[in-house]
Each structure stands twice: as structure tokens, then as C-alpha cells.
Structure 1
Amino acid sequence: MKKIAYILLIVLSVVSLQNCEDTYLPPSLEYITFGKTVYSTGVDVGGSTTVEIPVYTGNIVSTDRTFNVDVDGSAAAAGSYTAPSSVTIPGGTNKGTISVNLTDTNLGIGVNKLSIKFIADGSTTVGAATSIEYIQNCEEVTLTLNIVFDGYGSETGWNIKDALGGVVVSKPIKTYADGQATASETITLCAGRDYTFTIIDDYGDGLSYPANGSYTLSLGNTVKATGGGDFGASETTAFDTN
């Protein structure tokens, strides 16, 4: 009798465990992601624009949900963007929108980049980060830089900076070769802006040995910067693209 009762107890335990496994339902997975990984746009001179970034969750619930985001603006001009620190998904849907406002503040001529990611909270699986790449819209003009070397082209380099001091185009020393006679560069800049051109000599005697060299930066038929001979380690000329 005791043996039969013991067997019955084991059978009931197994059935009980099977019933638990059959009825157990794991919690639904919370997941959120951006619509795309990269957004690109331009900002008019003195203007602003807004980039709308859609975000999606993996499920729909009846109540609003808020997710925190982190915005890294280390590669963007200071003061050129305004972005929220969170996004809300309204109840009854799986879509929300992050609105990022961009302005022509300190943009210069380079590409600015914002990196945006969701902050994981332990209960939410987050998708890949997204980014916004933006530039200042402008009318482009083409300049020509002609250099006659002094015999040691490897010592020569140059750069052009915008009004904010950012380097927009450059050639470092050792770009050119010793014994190279001349070089001609085509340079694209924004029209109607202020820049500085700097030519550099690594040895510190300009374009002067064994023969005097020269350089000329021109916009069409207008000379914007020119010089040569012994200018020392560098020579800087301010110019505009009017």
C-alpha cells in the first residue's frame, strides 16, 4: 500500500511540473530602434532646419512609454543643434519621433555630425545608434593655387582656414617631392566668405634655396594671395571669396 502511494505521488509531481511548463509565458520583449542609421541634410546660411527621426518599438501597449537617448555632439559645431534627451511612444502605437533642430551657428564649411543612441535600462533591448551629418549650404567657387618650388618641395605645405579658424583644406609637408618644379591645386570653397591662406616651409627659409620660388592663389583672374622667396617658416594672407 505504501509502495502504491509513493508511485502515485511521483506521477502527480510530474504532471504538476508539466502543467507549469505548458502554462508559463515569458514576458514580452521590450525593443526599440531608429528608422535609419544615417540622416544627412544641409542648413542654409543664417537659417535652420529640423530633422525628424522615427523610432519604433517591437510591441504595442496601451500606455505611453518614454525612452532616454544620449546625444554626442563632439563632432558638431557648438550651438548648432538642439536635441531632446528622450522620446515618447504613445500608447496604442509602436512609433515615436525625435525632432532635432539644426541652425547655422559656427558651422564653417566642414561636415558636422551628431551621434544618437538609446540608453539601455536593463529591461529594453536597443537597436544600433543613428547619426545626423549636416553641412552649411553655400554657393561654391573654385580657386587655383600655383606653386613654383625652390628645389626642396618636400619642405612645403599649406592650409586654408575659415573665419572660425577651422582648417577646410590643406596639404601637409612631404606631400610634394624634392626636385619637383611646380604644383597646381584646384580648391573649392564657399562664395562670399572670409578665409586665411598659410604656406609653410619646414626648414624655415621659405621658397628661397637653391633658387627663389613663388606661390599664387587666384579666384578666376583675381589674385587672392601671393608671395615667395625667404618668408621664414610660414606666411599667412587673409582673403575673401567675393
Structure 2
Amino acid sequence: MKKILKLFLIGCLVLSYGCRDEFDTQTPNYIAFGTNAITETVDVGEGSKTIEVNVYTGNKVGTDRTFNLTTENSTAAAAAYSAPSSVVIEAGTNSATVSITVNEAGLTFDFQEIVLEFSPTTDIDTLADTASVTINAALLCPLATASNVTIEIDTDNWPDETSWAVTDSSGAVVASGGPYNNPADDFTTIVVNVTLGAGTYTMTLNDSYGDGGSTFRVLNGCGQLLATDSVTASTVSGNFSI
């Protein structure tokens, strides 16, 4: 009985050691970005901005490892960014940093996606939720420049019926113009430059006869279209913000 018990104990120890050894080799085998979404803006005139994203693996090995990257699912223009085609995890480590440069050239005032992801590989399993990082990037007009607002009025053949006004959030008139001269201002573009502070405004275009025909546009100092519309009856309005 003692011999049987002893063999049983030895067997348990061997089994336990074998299981523990197998567990130690089952280190999570993945590579992932430290985040899956970033929002970034580049000021007009800034040129470019560099974004750094951390990359992690689930284990450490004794040699350098190179993993390929792709941006093929990006919606941003190619000129709007530059990104590396691979990342190296150095021997004995499980992390690295990837630098993506976002360029003013190629960006618009609407957000576009720069998608950086790992290329498929049989060497490692990527994490589903952080196997890619999406950078939502857009141009931003600095307030000092954005405040220089341009009002454009395209008149019809009765400019003496056309007038306009810009009011702030309290309803106070901060800029206005018209009526214009007939026939000198027939079918022309009236351009007025005004400086506005940060806030929300309303542009209103009027036709005193009520038959419409003229159009307005509001642009900030960066040339970004903030509001536009055409009057088809007596009046039309559009809101915009600085």
C-alpha cells in the first residue's frame, strides 16, 4: 500500500510539473495598438503634426520582430499623411512606438480617416478590437484668422431690392449692407469683409419686392464656406459659427 501511495504521489508531481511547464509556454501571442481611435486637427499654416501610437505584443522573445503595417483602408488623401510600412519590436521587449505625420496638404475642413493596421500574418494573432488605429484628421482655422469673415452677395438684375444683415446670438446687428445700385450693381458680386469674435451668428438676405433672385455666401479667413443660400421670396437666413 505504501509503495502504491508513493507512486501515486510521484505521478501527481510529474503531472503537475508538466502542466505548469505547458502553461508557461502558452504566453498570449498577439500584437496590438495601445488605442483604436484618435482625433487630431492641424491648424491652417501649421504645416504638419506628428502623432505617436504605442504598439504592444503579448510576449518577449530573444530576437527582433518586424510586423508590416498598411493604410489601404484610409479615406484621407495620400498627401494628408505619412506612416511607416512596418514596426520593429526589439529583442527582449514587448513594445514600440509608431509615428504618423498628419499633413496640412491633402486635409480638408471635414474629418477624414487615416487607418493604420497590421498586415495579416501567420506568426501572431492580432487583437480584434485594437488591431488597427483610426486617426480622424481635419484642418482647423485658427480663431485669429477665422474671425476675418467675408460676406459675398451675388445680385440679380434688381440689386436695389437686396439688403442683408448679420446678427449675433443676442439678435444685435453686427454687420449689414444694401440696398445696392441699379443698374450699376446688376448681376455682380458684392464683397464685404468684417471681423467677428468667437460665437454663433445668423446671416439674413432680404428681397424687398419678394421675388428673390440673389445669393449669399459667408467664408472665414481660411476660405472655409460657413453658410450659403439663395433668397427665393422675401428673406432667407443661415447660421454659422466662429
Normalised TM-score (structure 2): 0.54
**Measured at CA, do residues 106 and 117 of structure 1 come closer, stay the same or move farther in structure 2, by a change above 3 Å?**
closer
User: Which residue of structure 2 lines up, in the alignment, with residue 193 of structure 1?
Assistant: 223
Q: Secondary structure at the match of 2:35?
A: coil
Post-superposition Cα deviations, 1:46-80, rounded to whole Å, max 9, x if no partner, equal 31111111100111112110111221454213411
Supply the AA of the counterpart residue of 2:30: Y
For residues 217 and 33 of structure 1, do their structure 2 counterparts lie closer, same or farther at Cα, with a shift above 3 Å needed?
A: closer
- Give the corresponding residue for 2:56: 56
**What CA distance in whole angstroms lies between the structure 1 residues aligned with 2:106 and 2:50?**
17
Which one-letter code corresponds to 1:146 in the other structure?
A: T
Contact 1:65 1:89 in 2 (8 A): yes
Name the structure 2 match of 1:37: 36
Aligned residue in 2 for 1:131:
134
Contact 1:72 1:114 (8 Å CA) reproduced: no
Q: 1:213 aligns with which of 234, 237, 240?
A: 234
Counterparts of 1:111 and 1:85 in 2: how far apart (Å)? 23
Q: Do the aligned residues in 1 keep the contact of 2:141 with 2:222 (CA within 8 Å)? A: no
Aligned length: 164
Instruction: Write the distance in 2 (CA, Å) between the matches of 1:218 and 1:67.
Output: 49
Q: 1:69 to 1:63 in 2, by over 3 A?
A: same
Q: Deviations over 1:76-97 (max 9, x none)?
A: 1341101112111011111111
Mapped partners of 1:83, 1:63: distance in 2: 24
Asked if the contact 1:109/1:190 (under 8 Å) is kept, the reply is no
Paired residues of 2:76 and 2:113 also in contact (CA < 8 A) = yes
Select the structure that is richer in strand: 1
CA contact (8 A) 1:76 1:112 kept: yes
Secondary structure, counterpart of 1:22 in structure 2? helix
- Matches of 2:98 and 2:85 in 1, distance apart? 9
C-alpha contact 1:54 1:98 (8 A) present in aligned 2: yes
SS at match of 1:75: coil
Give me the CA root mean square deviation.
4.1
Change (3 A) 1:75 1:144: farther
Q: Is the alpha carbon distance of 1:213 and 1:119 closer, same or farther for their aligned partners in structure 2, counting shifts above 3 Å?
A: same
Quick one: which amino acid aligns to residue 121 of structure 1?
T
Of 187, 195, 202, which residue of structure 2 is paired with 1:144?
A: 202
Residues 76 and 28 from structure 1, CA distance in 2 versus in 1: closer, same or farther, beyond 3 angstroms? same
- 2: CA distance between counterparts of 1:196 and 1:137? 13
Asked whether the equivalents of residues 50 and 100 of structure 1 are also in contact (C-alpha less than 8 Å), the reply is: yes
Contact 1:48 1:102 in 2 (8 A): yes
Please tell me whether residue 75 in structure 1 is matched to residue 75 in structure 2: yes
Counterpart of 1:86 in structure 2 is: 86
